């Protein structure tokens, strides 16, 4: 047989929000680690997906913390709309206690009989749906979500799915909901162990990105929780968390701001040197910790349930600006100037008072001073 055919393109990729690497530093490699077809390769700061090797497993999209790589065959929006309609029609028909069973389309059908409240939803691959879909299902009114596993997943995909399940359980139990409402089950083990309480069904759609969808589901579940803690402490590898800075070490060079793919780290407004942090945007990718030249920043996985606090920028560190000793223009922080003086104290070009004073000048005044200094122009320092 001869001819041409078009292979389905299962994914979409946005390098602008990819957390794989920045400034020569590599951080997130979850999609590379989980792909069973080895279709994803590193391009230093971004990734490349070989569409001909890709088998559409979708685990890469599930583990991606930013949503840079997205499953589009079908899209999350279509999956959530299908899920919402399934639960809505079931309730309108008088159904009670809906239990959502998610199965892969390539798997064998579930053994008969299936209970009347077992709503089966087939997806391309079991690992193609993750945290945001499971929590959305609970927000739409499912009393439990079961992932029906026939133990056909690779070890890497299975580990990634378990990490997502751990994060989901940590979030739900911190809200006061029972453990085990989202779990991996075998086809012959469809026994009820835990159920969500009856909640008012959410009405949001999946039009936003991955993190927006997850937060919509989390906020809805939190609004109806009666025994919720202020935050959930999460295990390493969770895509939500906080960042802190050592005020003694940080010089406000803002290199961390330049590499942050989620814009969680931001500079201050105006002339005040500041490092600000928006927790809702933090991916816990670790690019900031790898880039910081002073090792002054660290990250901690957690999830704040109060949406307003989560979205509100908070100041991690600030200093008074250092003003040029010649023109008075602010151009750096005092800690930066002091560190420059300390590190350059033994350099041959900074062995007289004028050269050392030049470190306290802004860029424009520094050029003027160099041009007027015969020693600097000759490349020699007179003792």
Is 242 in contact with 264 (CB distance < 8 Å)? Answer: no
197 and 140 inside one domain? yes
When the pLDDT of each residue in the chain is averaged and rounded to a whole number, the result is: 89
> Residues 6 or more apart from 70 whose CB is under 8 A from it?
11, 12, 13, 14, 61, 64, 76, 210
CA separation for the pair 375, 383 (Å, rounded): 10
Among 19, 44, 71, residue at a domain's last position: 71
Residue corresponding to tokens 């439990």: 144
153 and 116 inside one domain? yes
pLDDT surpassing 70 at residue 8: yes
Give me the pLDDT at residue 116, please: 80
Structural domains of the chain, count? 4
pLDDT surpassing 90 at residue 340: no
15 part of a folded domain? yes
User: At 52, is the pLDDT very low, low, confident or very high (cuts 50, 70, 90)?
Assistant: confident
For residue 302, the surrounding DSSP H or E stretch is strand 297-304
127 and 265 inside one domain? no
Give me the pLDDT at residue 113, please: 57
236 part of a folded domain? no
Among 197, 229, 261, residue at a domain's last position: 229
Predicted confidence (pLDDT) per residue in 71-100, tens digit: 887 888 899 999 999 999 999 999 999 999
Number of H helices, E strands in the chain: 13, 18
> Residues 6 or more apart from 372 whose CB is under 8 A from it?
none
Predicted confidence (pLDDT) per residue in 152-197, tens digit: 788 889 999 999 999 999 999 999 999 999 999 988 888 888 999 9
Instruction: For residues 239-245, give the mean pLDDT.
Output: 97
Tell me the CA end-to-end span of the chain in Å, nearest whole number.
Answer: 85
Q: pTM, whole model, 2 decimals? A: 0.86
pLDDT surpassing 70 at residue 304: yes
Among 229, 264, 293, residue at a domain's last position: 229
56 and 139 inside one domain? no
pLDDT surpassing 60 at residue 271: yes
User: At 109, is the pLDDT very low, low, confident or very high (cuts 50, 70, 90)?
Assistant: low
pLDDT surpassing 70 at residue 200: yes
Beta bridge partners of 148: 185
- Residue 125 is given by DSSP the state S
Give me the pLDDT at residue 284, please: 97
210 and 250 inside one domain? no
Instruction: For residues 341-363, give the mean pLDDT.
Output: 85
219 and 250 inside one domain? no
Give me the pLDDT at residue 208, please: 84
CA separation for the pair 187, 168 (Å, rounded): 22
Torsion-angle region of 295 (φ positive above 0: left; ψ -120 to 50: alpha; else: beta): left
**Structural domain boundaries enclosing 289:** 241-318
- 3-state SS assignment for residue 168: helix
Instruction: For residues 32-59, give the mean pLDDT.
Output: 91
91 and 205 inside one domain? yes
Other Cβ atoms closer than 10 A to 245: 21
pLDDT surpassing 90 at residue 60: yes
1 part of a folded domain? no
User: At 382, is the pLDDT very low, low, confident or very high (cuts 50, 70, 90)?
Assistant: very low
29 part of a folded domain? yes
Query: Considering only CA atoms, which of 187, 149, 184, 144 is closest in space to residue 164?
Result: 184
235 part of a folded domain? no
**What percent of the chain stands above pLDDT 90?**
60
Beta bridge partners of 265: 277
Query: Considering only CA atoms, which of 174, 65, 78, 63 is closest in space to residue 121?
Result: 78
3 part of a folded domain? no
Is 26 in contact with 60 (CB distance < 8 Å)? Answer: no
Is 265 in contact with 29 (CB distance < 8 Å)? Answer: no
* Residue 43: CATH number of its domain: 3.30.70.20
CA separation for the pair 236, 18 (Å, rounded): 19
223 and 245 inside one domain? no
Alpha-helix runs per DSSP H in 237-382: 255-259, 287-291, 307-311, 334-343, 353-358, 363-372, 374-378
CA separation for the pair 140, 84 (Å, rounded): 6
Beta bridge partners of 107: none
220 and 103 inside one domain? yes
174 part of a folded domain? yes
- Residue 43 is given by DSSP the state E
6 part of a folded domain? no
92 and 189 inside one domain? yes
CA separation for the pair 57, 71 (Å, rounded): 9
259 and 290 inside one domain? yes
Choose the weakest-confidence range: 6-10, 42-46, 294-298: 6-10
* Residue 276: CATH number of its domain: 3.30.70.3270
93 and 114 inside one domain? yes
Other Cβ atoms closer than 10 A to 307: 15
Beta bridge partners of 146: 101, 183
Query: Considering only CA atoms, which of 312, 185, 295, 216 is closest in space to residue 248?
Result: 295
């Amino acid at each position: 047989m001869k001819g041409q055919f078009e292979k389905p393109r299962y994914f979409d990729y946005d390098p602008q929000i990819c957390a794989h690497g920045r400034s020569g530093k590599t951080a997130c490699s979850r999609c590379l680690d989980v792909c069973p077809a080895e279709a994803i390769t590193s391009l230093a700061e971004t990734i490349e997906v070989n569409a001909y090797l890709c088998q559409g497993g979708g685990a890469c999209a599930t583990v991606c913390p930013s949503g840079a790589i997205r499953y589009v065959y079908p899209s999350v929006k279509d999956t959530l709309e299908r899920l919402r309609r399934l639960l809505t029609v079931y309730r309108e028909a008088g159904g009670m206690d809906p239990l959502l069973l998610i199965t892969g389309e390539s798997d064998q059908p579930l053994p008969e009989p299936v209970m009347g409240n077992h709503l089966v939803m087939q997806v391309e691959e079991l690992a193609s749906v993750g945290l945001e879909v499971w929590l959305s299902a609970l927000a739409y009114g499912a009393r439990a979500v079961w992932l029906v596993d026939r133990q056909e997943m690779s070890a890497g995909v299975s580990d990634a799915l378990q990490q997502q399940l751990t994060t989901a359980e940590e979030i739900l139990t911190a809200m006061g909901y029972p453990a085990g409402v989202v779990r991996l089950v075998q086809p012959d083990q469809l026994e009820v162990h835990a159920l969500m309480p009856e909640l008012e069904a959410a009405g949001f759609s999946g039009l936003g990105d991955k993190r927006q969808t997850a937060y919509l589901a989390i906020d809805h579940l939190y609004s109806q929780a009666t025994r919720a803690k202020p935050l959930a402490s999460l295990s390493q590898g969770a895509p939500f968390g906080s960042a802190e800075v050592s005020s003694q070490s940080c010089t406000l060079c803002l290199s961390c701001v330049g590499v942050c793919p989620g814009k969680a780290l931001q500079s201050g407004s105006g002339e005040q040197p500041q490092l600000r942090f928006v927790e809702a945007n933090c991916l816990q990718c670790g690019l900031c910790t790898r880039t910081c030249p002073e090792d002054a920043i660290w990250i901690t996985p957690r999830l704040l349930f109060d949406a307003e606090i989560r979205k509100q920028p908070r100041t991690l560190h600030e200093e008074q600006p250092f003003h040029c000793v010649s023109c008075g223009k602010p151009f750096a922080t005092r800690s930066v100037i002091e560190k420059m003086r300390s590190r350059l104290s033994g350099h041959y070009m900074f062995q007289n008072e004028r050269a050392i004073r030049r470190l306290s000048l802004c860029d424009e005044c520094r050029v003027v001073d160099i041009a007027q200094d015969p020693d600097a122009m000759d490349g020699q320092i007179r003792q």
